[in-house]
Chain A
Amino acid sequence: MALSRREALLLGGAVAIGGAVASSGCGRVAAEVRRRRKTEPWSEPKDPKVARLLDRMTFGWSANEESVYTSLGHQAYVEKQLAMGFQEPLELTLQLQNLDCLRMQGFELIEIPKPRVIQQLQAAAILRAVYSPNQLRERMVDFWSNHFNIYSGKSDAAFYKGNQEELIVRKEALGNFHSMARGMAKSPAMLLYLDNNQNGKKGPNENYARELLELHTLGIHGGYTQEDVQEVSRCLTGWTIEERNPLERLGARDYEPRARGSFWFNKDDHDDGAKIVLGVKIPAGGGVKDGEMVLDIALNHPSTGKHLARKLVMFFTGSRNEALESTVSAAYKSTQGDIKTMVKPILESEFLHSGAPILRRPFEFMCASLRHSAAITDGGNDLQAHLRTLGQAMYEWPMPDGYPTDQLSWTNKVLPRWQFAYDLAHGKIPNTMVQPDSMPIVDGIKSSGSGLSAERQRALALKLSSPQFQYM
């Protein structure tokens, strides 16, 4: 079966990312699906208001997204996005299924060079953000990945990040915040990133305890003190990672089979004295329950709902809105952290459209550009290099607060945006190309241009570089 340029690109992408040769069976299916799918030719938004709404609910307007939205209407579209009810395209599934970082356990991945694992994680994030029709979930994944930031450069965190992303962030992105936060507290990626694996009774390590209160739950002015940080840290002593092979522990007095690289409560390293956290007494002898109580206290603290509400409203609308925030925060309280119920009022609010313009962050800018131009990409190295220069390589923000959300942080870095826009429009990014409108298909992936006429190249580069396109 002869492959078209687009089809070959798709396969090439999967191969390049996966590192393993994609079986020709899967590849052919992917190619065939892609070939038969009708894609809208490159065009401009029909309705600017719809474009603005889609820019905020999704990773950017696309002609296809606008048709879906228009045919369903706002209400039904929002409902379907919240329910994650859109069928994932087969070719995306095929592109993702070769990624070791998603299908292997952290300790198995350690055999693979770390840069390659990070490259795969980034590819997965880009591909899903650009191609998944369940766009709202993808936006929420980005939100939570930053809320619970993991720096892939820290010790072995990168190896465990993929698993955490699949089993916690993606699972609960539109699910339950309490479950997500509880999962995070025991996830090897977080235990490694914020050093709780090093938190023991002789000399606690406060790193995770502090960020749990400051960033993940109550928020900086949420009403905790330095003493609370110390007490939380004591409660979490002994929360660590099983480093050993299960067989090495065989015969030990308290042997219980546990996968290497999974959460382990080391009771010998737990400070079992009484503690007081945010005014609540935690009796002595609680063992692993101490940490679980801390999570209960923090998750049910009134500041937590407010903190999340403020961040969510800002994320979608770009502004503060106290009325909307209190609705969201009330939803958090009444549903014990149901994220759908929290997000829905924001998406149904007039403010979603009328809030001040939001500067797209680099990841949003890149995805919006790819969606706007109906580009085909493997999400691989060459695209990632652009994202790094733009300033927002995924999982590469070292501090625990996640990439900045205020626009002034990003405003002054327009040059790499122009370069990206120009390179994308002119077909200068290997393994990424703009949908050729009615171009004859040519073999070969890296050599030829974008498939657009010179005029369209110029127009597209300019469109994506324009001051207007930097906002959503």
Chain B
Amino acid sequence: MKDTACSSYHSAMSRRTALKLSAAGLVPWLLSGSALSQVKLGDQPRDHALVILFLRGGSDGLNMLVPYTDDHYYKARPSLAIAKPNDGRVNVNLRAEKLTDQFGLHPSLRPLKRWFENGVLSITPAVGSQDTTRSHFEAMSAMERGTATGLSGEPSGWLARYLKRTESPSDTPLRAVAWANTMPDSLLGAPSVTVVSSISDFKLNADEEFIKDLREIYGDPAQSLVTSAGANTLDSLKKIEQLDPANYKPSGGKTYPANAVGAGFKEVACLLKSGLDLEIACLEDTGWDTHFAQGGAEGIHSRGLAAVAESIDTFLTDLGDRATKITLIVMTEFGRTVVENRSLGTDHGRASVFMAFGDVDGGKINGIWPGLSPEQLDGNRDLVPANDYRKVLTQYLAPKMPEIANIWL
């Protein structure tokens, strides 16, 4: 039992739980290899969980899924375009990674290729909303509220409406968890949500008396939004404090990258494996608004993509068989201009790429490709959002979450 800090044993259990189990003679069983992943803290594992990674700022879809057979792409991006998969003049690590006869992956997304080949990854290009303002905030507002444009005035988020329609008395505040500074709009109005910076920080270092006092003053959830949030927090606290995410060790031999995205996925995996109530996990990342120094095969965007790809590769490997019970969506509010600007970047456009992992009929490029010739663009400028994001999300999610089909506005 000495020095278990790095073992997955600690990943799912607190010392307190360990003591109880130890007394029952369960520890040897727990330490016997694969049984580790069976450790359960809760008795409410969901049949299916949805993980969302929202890339805030508008990730450049044309730099994620490269239409390498299209000359317009190379003409519009003399500095940024990524070389064709078979372009012998370019270092192989800087070329597009061929997926189909038409599209290749950004070289930084290479770790995702095997998931595509295994049928776990489906990619839809040219996804967007009807919002034409090209404003981050309007486009995010549309996409997170599940509306056509940001103008709707709809106060609730699409995930919140899903949670509400499928609410059950046994739900806990851990049914939906957002890793964020502030609550994502997609969860606005949800029956109960937990917002954390990280679950390792989700603890209260205080004396028992203080916590007892809090239970009293936050005893009436109906009093205000804050009292309701406080009551939920006290409930989640009891559960999360039994986890030990800091010492969590993934299965499958990969290590989560040491960046914000990696840390987020690691915590989602930790929570998913704990058997607590988690059904919807919202992660987000910033830094995708690449007006400047975006780069093509190398640069700011490339580094962001590498962090995403390595994190997801580790996450899916870590989940093992469980990976079939989750759907992971990578989304962003809009794509960027087809033509590069002069600062090795791109400006706000309309449509970008969505990726879906899980039981999603993967291994192919999904949806309509509207083309890049000037007359095919929106205002001679931007890739047309030929695939409405609501349709794309319904297609990916409705098989496991049928109510999704009914929450769009």
**A and B found bound together:** yes
Does A247 have its Cβ within 8 Å of any Cβ on chain B? Answer: no
Does A359 have its Cβ within 8 Å of any Cβ on chain B? Answer: yes
B347 and A466 contact, CB distance less than 8 A: no
Cα distance A458–B216 when bound, in Å? Answer: 14
Q: Which residues of B sit under 8 angstroms from A404, Cβ to Cβ?
A: 182
CB within 8 Å for A205 and B286 given contacts A391-B197, A404-B182, A414-B230:
no
Cα distance A357–B224 when bound, in Å? Answer: 10
Does B218 have its Cβ within 8 Å of any Cβ on chain A? Answer: yes
Q: Which residues of B sit under 8 angstroms from A413, Cβ to Cβ?
A: 182-183, 195, 229
Q: Which residues of B sit under 8 angstroms from A407, Cβ to Cβ?
A: 225
CB within 8 Å for A412 and B205 given contacts A195-B345, A200-B342, A226-B134:
no
- B192-231 interface mask toward A, CB cutoff 8 Å, 1 = contact, 0 = none? 0111010001101110011001100110000111110110
Does B46 have its Cβ within 8 Å of any Cβ on chain A? Answer: no
Q: Which residues of B sit under 8 angstroms from A279, Cβ to Cβ?
A: none
Q: Which residues of A sit under 8 angstroms from B217, Cβ to Cβ?
A: 462, 465-467
Does B237 have its Cβ within 8 Å of any Cβ on chain A? Answer: yes
In whole Å, how far is B198's beta carbon from the nearest beta carbon of chain A?
Answer: 10
Q: Which residues of A sit under 8 angstroms from B291, Cβ to Cβ?
A: 194-195, 198, 205-207
Does A97 have its Cβ within 8 Å of any Cβ on chain B? Answer: no
In whole Å, how far is B267's beta carbon from the nearest beta carbon of chain A?
Answer: 15
Q: Which residues of A sit under 8 angstroms from B348, Cβ to Cβ?
A: 206, 210
Closest B residue to A388 by CB, please name it.
B197
B342 and A461 contact, CB distance less than 8 A: no
Cα distance A203–B80 when bound, in Å? Answer: 13
Does B170 have its Cβ within 8 Å of any Cβ on chain A? Answer: no
A205 and B182 contact, CB distance less than 8 A: no
B342 and A229 contact, CB distance less than 8 A: no
Closest A residue to B184 by CB, please name it.
A409
Cα distance A392–B56 when bound, in Å? Answer: 18
Cα distance A229–B217 when bound, in Å? Answer: 51
Closest A residue to B344 by CB, please name it.
A198
Q: Which residues of B sit under 8 angstroms from A200, Cβ to Cβ?
A: 342-343
Does B132 have its Cβ within 8 Å of any Cβ on chain A? Answer: yes
Residues from 201 to 244 in A contacting B, C-beta threshold 8 Å = 202-207, 210, 214, 220-221, 226, 229
Q: Which residues of A sit under 8 angstroms from B56, Cβ to Cβ?
A: 398-399
Q: Which residues of A sit under 8 angstroms from B151, Cβ to Cβ?
A: 221
Does A143 have its Cβ within 8 Å of any Cβ on chain B? Answer: no
Q: Which residues of A sit under 8 angstroms from B206, Cβ to Cβ?
A: 418-419, 422, 461
The stretch of B37-45, B135-143, B385-393 in contact with A is B135-143
Does A300 have its Cβ within 8 Å of any Cβ on chain B? Answer: no
Does A265 have its Cβ within 8 Å of any Cβ on chain B? Answer: no
A399 and B227 contact, CB distance less than 8 A: no
CB within 8 Å for A202 and B342 given contacts A409-B183, A418-B214:
yes
- A441-472 interface mask toward B, CB cutoff 8 Å, 1 = contact, 0 = none? 00000000000000000100110011100110
In whole Å, how far is B283's beta carbon from the nearest beta carbon of chain A?
Answer: 15
Question: Chain B's interface: helix, strand, loop or mixed, by majority?
Answer: loop
**Residue in B136, B210, B217 with the greatest tally of chain A CB atoms within 10 Å:** B210
Q: Report how many residues on chain B are interfacial, defined by Cβ distance under 8 Å.
A: 56
Does B233 have its Cβ within 8 Å of any Cβ on chain A? Answer: yes
B138 and A461 contact, CB distance less than 8 A: no
In whole Å, how far is B54's beta carbon from the nearest beta carbon of chain A?
Answer: 12
- B338-359 interface mask toward A, CB cutoff 8 Å, 1 = contact, 0 = none? 0111110101100000000000
Closest A residue to B141 by CB, please name it.
A220
Does A156 have its Cβ within 8 Å of any Cβ on chain B? Answer: no
B342 and A408 contact, CB distance less than 8 A: no
In whole Å, how far is B192's beta carbon from the nearest beta carbon of chain A?
Answer: 9
A465 and B226 contact, CB distance less than 8 A: no
B197 and A399 contact, CB distance less than 8 A: no
Does A389 have its Cβ within 8 Å of any Cβ on chain B? Answer: yes
Q: Which residues of B sit under 8 angstroms from A202, Cβ to Cβ?
A: 342
Closest A residue to B133 by CB, please name it.
A220
Closest A residue to B136 by CB, please name it.
A399
- B261-273 interface mask toward A, CB cutoff 8 Å, 1 = contact, 0 = none? 0000000000000
Does A401 have its Cβ within 8 Å of any Cβ on chain B? Answer: yes
Does B91 have its Cβ within 8 Å of any Cβ on chain A? Answer: no
Pick the residue among A205, A392, A400, A419 that contacts B347 (CB under 8 A).
A205
**Residue in A204, A205, A407 with the greatest tally of chain B CB atoms within 10 Å:** A205
Cα distance A152–B134 when bound, in Å? Answer: 24
Pick the residue among A198, A422, A462, A470 that contacts B226 (CB under 8 A).
A470
Cα distance A155–B217 when bound, in Å? Answer: 45
Residues from 381 to 405 in A contacting B, C-beta threshold 8 Å = 389, 391-392, 398-401, 403-404
CB within 8 Å for A408 and B188 given contacts A198-B342, A205-B343, A210-B135:
yes
In whole Å, how far is B222's beta carbon from the nearest beta carbon of chain A?
Answer: 11
Q: Which residues of B sit under 8 angstroms from A408, Cβ to Cβ?
A: 183, 188-189, 225
Q: Which residues of B sit under 8 angstroms from A194, Cβ to Cβ?
A: 291
A195 and B343 contact, CB distance less than 8 A: yes
Closest A residue to B227 by CB, please name it.
A467
Cα distance A400–B205 when bound, in Å? Answer: 34
A415 and B204 contact, CB distance less than 8 A: yes
- B165-196 interface mask toward A, CB cutoff 8 Å, 1 = contact, 0 = none? 00000000000001001110000110001110
B201 and A389 contact, CB distance less than 8 A: yes
**Residue in B133, B182, B193, B341 with the greatest tally of chain A CB atoms within 10 Å:** B182
Closest A residue to B150 by CB, please name it.
A220
Closest B residue to A428 by CB, please name it.
B205
A412 and B135 contact, CB distance less than 8 A: no
Does B253 have its Cβ within 8 Å of any Cβ on chain A? Answer: no
A422 and B233 contact, CB distance less than 8 A: no
Cα distance A401–B150 when bound, in Å? Answer: 15
Does A411 have its Cβ within 8 Å of any Cβ on chain B? Answer: yes
Does A69 have its Cβ within 8 Å of any Cβ on chain B? Answer: no
Does B369 have its Cβ within 8 Å of any Cβ on chain A? Answer: no
- A173-206 interface mask toward B, CB cutoff 8 Å, 1 = contact, 0 = none? 0000000000000000000001100111011111
Does B287 have its Cβ within 8 Å of any Cβ on chain A? Answer: yes
A415 and B379 contact, CB distance less than 8 A: no
B226 and A203 contact, CB distance less than 8 A: no
Does B116 have its Cβ within 8 Å of any Cβ on chain A? Answer: no
Cα distance A458–B210 when bound, in Å? Answer: 7
Cα distance A408–B209 when bound, in Å? Answer: 29
Does A315 have its Cβ within 8 Å of any Cβ on chain B? Answer: no
Q: Which residues of B sit under 8 angstroms from A226, Cβ to Cβ?
A: 132-134, 379
In whole Å, how far is B377's beta carbon from the nearest beta carbon of chain A?
Answer: 13
Pick the residue among B195, B214, B339 that contacts A412 (CB under 8 A).
B195
In whole Å, how far is B191's beta carbon from the nearest beta carbon of chain A?
Answer: 12
Q: Which residues of A sit under 8 angstroms from B136, Cβ to Cβ?
A: 399-401
Closest B residue to A237 by CB, please name it.
B342
Pick the residue among A214, A391, A398, A462 that contacts B182 (CB under 8 A).
A391
CB within 8 Å for A398 and B286 given contacts A410-B182, A415-B202:
yes
**Residue in B136, B218, B226, B348 with the greatest tally of chain A CB atoms within 10 Å:** B226
Q: Which 5 A-B pairs have the closest CB atoms?
A: A203-B342, A198-B343, A409-B182, A412-B195, A207-B291
Other A-B pairs beyond A198-B342, A210-B348, A401-B137, 12, CB < 8 Å: A155-B292, A203-B341, A205-B292, A205-B342, A205-B343, A206-B341, A214-B135, A404-B182, A412-B194, A412-B195, A413-B183, A415-B233
Q: Can you identify 5 A-B contacts, CB atoms within 8 angstroms?
A: A411-B226, A413-B195, A461-B210, A461-B213, A471-B224
Residues of B within 8 A of A (CB): 56-57, 132-138, 150-151, 178, 181-183, 188-189, 193-195, 197, 201-202, 204-206, 209-210, 213-214, 217-218, 223-227, 229-230, 232-233, 237, 286-287, 289, 291-292, 339-343, 345, 347-348, 379
